[in-house]
Structure 1
Amino acid sequence: MSIISKLKIWFSDAFQTPPPALDRMRLRPEGSTQNPLMLQFFTWDCLHESLSWWKHLETEVPKLAEMGFTQIWLPPPNKAAEPLGRGYDAYDLWDLGEFNHKGTIKTRWGTKEEFLSACKVAQEHGIDILIDAVLNHKLGADRTEVVPAVKVQPENRLKNAGPVKDIEAWTLFDFPARGDKYSKLRWNHEHFTGVDWDNKMREKAVYKLTGPGHKGWSRNVDSELGNYDFLLGIDIDHRHPAVQEDLMNWGTWILETTNASGFRLDAIKHIDRKFLLNFIQTTRKNSGNSKMFAVSEYWSGNLKLIMPYIRAFKGETSFFDVPLHMNLCKASRQRSRYDLRTILHDTIVGVKPHDAVTFVDNHECVVEGQSLESWVEHTFKIQAYAIILLRSGGFPCVFYGDLYPNREGYNENTARNITLLIEARKMFAYGATEDYFHDRNCIGFVRRGDENHPGCAVILSNKDEGSGTFLHNLRMNVGIAHARTQYRSFMTQHGIVDIDKDGWGTFSCFANYVQVWVPVKE
């Protein structure tokens, strides 16, 4: 192929608009007309007082299905480096709580049998399971080996901070209890690009592995810190053929074993993009699930950094809308100083709504002291959930920590209101969205409904002054189909709105709150 032909292909790939990711994926049971809804069923520190986490999930499934959830994102089910590790400290992806590794058979979440039972019950109730795939790194190696490596500068991984020297690295994974079951790969330094600990000198730093066979950092990663291939622990080299084969096999195996519908992909800015695209496409093909779901975590509030990734993945994965989360966080902290008319500015859902998985908080941003700490304050959390649950753009994900009692910031009143918003989404929030963003402290939107659902009108406020007594009024049009009808308040017993002959009505909302207005049944 000539250079000119290659350039034409490159320009075509670089500037073409990828197909919308969510449109090609399964979000709810086949044939259902109900709004789809995802639940992240864990927090960072969650443990049930009397049940394993998997048993807890199984007991909650019937209620969650009735509420309207169609997908559940579970914590990483793999064996961790520590007995109570969350799975992000991935030791063995193939051990789902089956083998005696790291001093335990079960994972933090329970045994393999409990895990598969919970998955089966969820699917029987019309809820799909999402596997959290931790493919970037490993931790908890069984043995060390001496390997040549070079320390790199913390702020620029492309620059060395010293000469190449031999270090003692935790890079040997034997999986003694599992043996050759499921996979025969025994990991060693050849399968990794870097480590963050020299056991010989007892020194923590970022070391790039060198020597025969090592290619340095991948170039197909984020450019933060010069090159962001390394995140933590023992960084996997996704260019190694044995690594590619093992992870591809695991992807198909985990879907077949659990009958899960897809993946949440962890920390993708650190993973070779070419490998990850191949992983998604290969598992989608090999599992026989053409509608396999995928959502990727690229943690940045900067939409300009995320857009090239959306284009690079060609509609094969959706993305968590971190820019929207950051806007919600900012709005919650600035309170009435924040201009609500800008809430969707520079967000994925604002520019590519069919690629956005929207969320308010998750397991990382609510943990005080964590690098991603950015939780949304309770003074704005109901407004934030109204935005992601009741609008037509994006695929919303509700956080367990906002819905269930826990020690990480739960608020009973907030949970009660989120439950009402979830009910409003299931019953009323259908049809196109028409915005009425006319005031910096009070915005509204209308859902016109469809042939099976009546629609709704929504108002939200961030006005501090006189909260609970100050009343906003906003004139909105609900459509000629609702002319000369009445709407009632849904969140509280707030009153009745008369709709005129042209479909207009004046809707109200208390300051610093949300009100959902729905048609009065005839």
Structure 2
Amino acid sequence: MQMSRTASLMLVDMDEFCAEAEAEESHLVELERERLNMQQRRVASAALLEEMAKITEYADPSHTVMLQGFNWESHKAGKGNWYGIVESKVDMLADVGITDIWLPPPSQSVAPQGYLPSQLFNLDASAYGKKAALKSLLKSLHAKGMRGVADIVINHRCGDKQDEQGRWNVFTSTGIESRKSFHGIMDWQGWAITLGDQFSDGTGERGPGHLDGKFDAAPDIDHGNKKVQSSIAIWLRWLRLDIGFDAWRFDFVKGYGAEYVGHYCKKSEPSWAVGELWLDMEYDHDGLKYNQDKHRQDTVNWINGTDKESTAFDFTTKGILQEAVRNTQYWRLKDSNGKPPGLLGWMPTHAVTFLDNHDTGSTQGHWPFPNDKVLVGYAYILTHPGIPCIFWDHICDWGEDMRNRIKALLQLRRRAGIKVDDKVQILCADHDLYIAEIGSPPALRVALGPKHSGVDGSWSPGTEGADYRVWIRASAAA
């Protein structure tokens, strides 16, 4: 079969491109060293678990609390300067106890929310604000000892132009003209898109994604292509070392292989990373099944597939927890082995727990946590192991009382020294009452549900609200 002109040129240029990419990465390594020396932001003195040691600059596990710093409508609310709105709240968020802020996709996008990116290096065409405003926000976060988490959308990419056949599979490097060494890095064509893609007739390998991971709204990227890998790795390092991001949130990871997330983490060395692996849970005629081990096993398999370079959002815990609080079925919060039933019960060091995000909640509301039980949900995830993530709406849009109650829970978590891998001893998981003690030895005690529970004199009152009560060990409270 005759080789196309595009494919032939790609083979000729590949060695030259890879050499340029290697030189650029060496340059970025030097920038990284300078940045680390300047900021002197090192890992806290707390000893890291063996499996956490793979994640460069992992935060002190007792302190990591992420905020999703936007919702589905933030591109409108910000009126072109959402970054400025977030920056104006940095002092307040630091006071509440937030350590990391997950920011929206920063690149130019066909859709204003940022999830249909095209020109990845173009940060001045984002509906959330200009590149200068983003860098100012990240600088303010760093001044408070906080970190910025970039939303990395690399399952798919929208073309800038049509080819001779009218297919949208011509991609450009717009936005990086100021860096000569970057010229052409993001100039892709059909070879960068998975084979047979319905929108662009891609010529790359067929996508290796997870289960139902095909994305129908835009051309799917062929991550098996070495030029694609080098391009994305350089872009990620640029986001870290030039723009100032610290960590990654990988969008729609069921669309491509977990090994590529691991590869990109190793190449770009974020402080940490988290993947959005949103899979369907198991239901029957009675509703959500009690046993969701397959669901969380799929997540564990994905994490292992990244070589444990990335954590994952704990969708298993979200699904079970919201069912438990909505229907007063607190028996769901203990699995058959007496442990928490979500990812945090099996792999807490890599479980990012949450109640809602811009997809499940906000104005989309695809799978919302019950509004009247949000504080019960936070009483669970903010007292338990794992890495908790708080939604913007709950802490910034729902009023001062809600914010103060979340802050009280976070203060107890820190005072008790709860770590990402702490032991959970479940004392009760009945229809209307859940009781657990967290820590080694136990430092927090939490009770959820309408039924009340007493404590002995070794516990001091912490905080409480409708259907939740938290105590702290008296010795820790002193």
Distance in 1 separating the partners of 2:462 and 2:205: 60
Once the two structures are superposed, residues 443-498 of structure 1 have per-residue CA deviations (whole angstroms, 9 ceiling, x without a partner) of 12234588xxx93322111x4xxxxxxx512456xxxxxxx666235236xxxxxx
2:460 paired with 1:487: yes
Matches within 5 A, 1:164-243: 168-175=166-173, 178-179=176-177, 181=179, 182-184=182-184, 185-193=186-194, 206=198, 209=201, 214-218=203-207, 220-224=208-212, 228-243=213-228
In 2, distance between residues paired with 1:369 and 1:65?
A: 28
Code of the aligned partner of 2:463: F
Displacement, 1:413?
5.2
How far the C-alpha of 1:355 sits from its partner, in A, is 1.3
* Contact 2:62-2:417 within 8 A present in 1 as well: no
Partner Cα distance (1:63, 1:51) in 2: 22
Q: Secondary structure at the match of 1:472?
A: coil
Q: 1:303 corresponds to which letter in structure 2?
A: R
Moved more, 428-437 or 396-405: 428-437
1:115-514 correspondence runs (5 A): 115-139=134-158, 141-146=159-164, 168-175=166-173, 178-179=176-177, 181=179, 182-184=182-184, 185-193=186-194, 206=198, 209=201, 214-218=203-207, 220-224=208-212, 228-284=213-269, 292-300=271-279, 301=281, 302-333=295-326, 335-337=327-329, 339-342=331-334, 346-367=341-362, 373-391=366-384, 393-405=385-397, 410=398, 414-428=402-416, 430=418, 432-447=423-438, 455-461=443-449, 463=450, 472-475=452-455, 487-491=460-464, 513-514=467-468
Which 4+ residue blocks in structure 1 deviate beyond 6 angstroms?
A: none
| Cα offset, 1:266, TM superposition | 1.0
- Secondary structure of 1:487's aligned partner: strand
5+ long unaligned stretches in structure 1: 1-17, 98-105, 148-167, 197-205, 464-470, 477-483, 493-511
* Residue matched to 1:467: none
Is residue 341–residue 439 contact of structure 1 (8 Å, CA) maintained in 2?
Answer: no
Which structure features the higher share of helix residues? 2
Cα offsets for 1:231-260 (capped at 9, x unmatched): 431111112232122111111111101332
Q: Is the 8 A contact 2:156 2:221 kept in 1?
A: yes
Question: Does the CA contact (< 8 Å) of 2:223 and 2:260 recur in 1?
Answer: yes
Taking a change above 3 Å as real, the CA distance of residues 19 and 296 of structure 1, as seen in their structure-2 partners, is farther
More strand by share: 1
**Pair 1:49–1:137, CA change in 2 (3 A):** closer
* Mapped partners of 2:413, 2:355: distance in 1: 16
User: Any idea what the Cα deviations from partners look like across 1:42-84, whole Å, max 9, x if unmatched?
Assistant: 11112446782111122211121122211111111111124xx
Measured at CA, do residues 345 and 447 of structure 1 come closer, stay the same or move farther in structure 2, by a change above 3 Å? closer
> Partner of 1:90 in structure 2?
117
Q: Name the SS for the 2:220 alignment partner.
A: strand
1:442: how far off?
0.8
Counterpart code for 1:360? L
Give the distance between the partners of 1:27 and 1:92, measured in 2 at CA: 30
- Deviations along 1:306-334, one digit per CA (max 9) or x if unpaired, are 2321222221111111111111232243x
Give the aligned CA root-mean-square deviation in angstroms.
Answer: 3.0
In the alignment, the residues of structure 1 paired with residue 376 and residue 388 of structure 2 have an alpha-carbon distance, to the nearest angstrom, of: 14
Give 1:481's aligned residue.
Answer: none
Q: TM-score, normalised by structure 2?
A: 0.76
1:197-216: CA deviations, max 9, x gaps?
xxxxxxxxx45836xxx244
Q: Any conservation in 2 of the 1:22–1:354 contact (CA below 8 Å)? A: no
Give % identity: 22
Number of the residue aligned with 2:65:
37
Matched AA of 2:160: D
Q: Assess, with a 3 A threshold, how the Cα gap between structure 1 residues 309 and 178 changes in structure 2: closer, same or farther.
A: closer
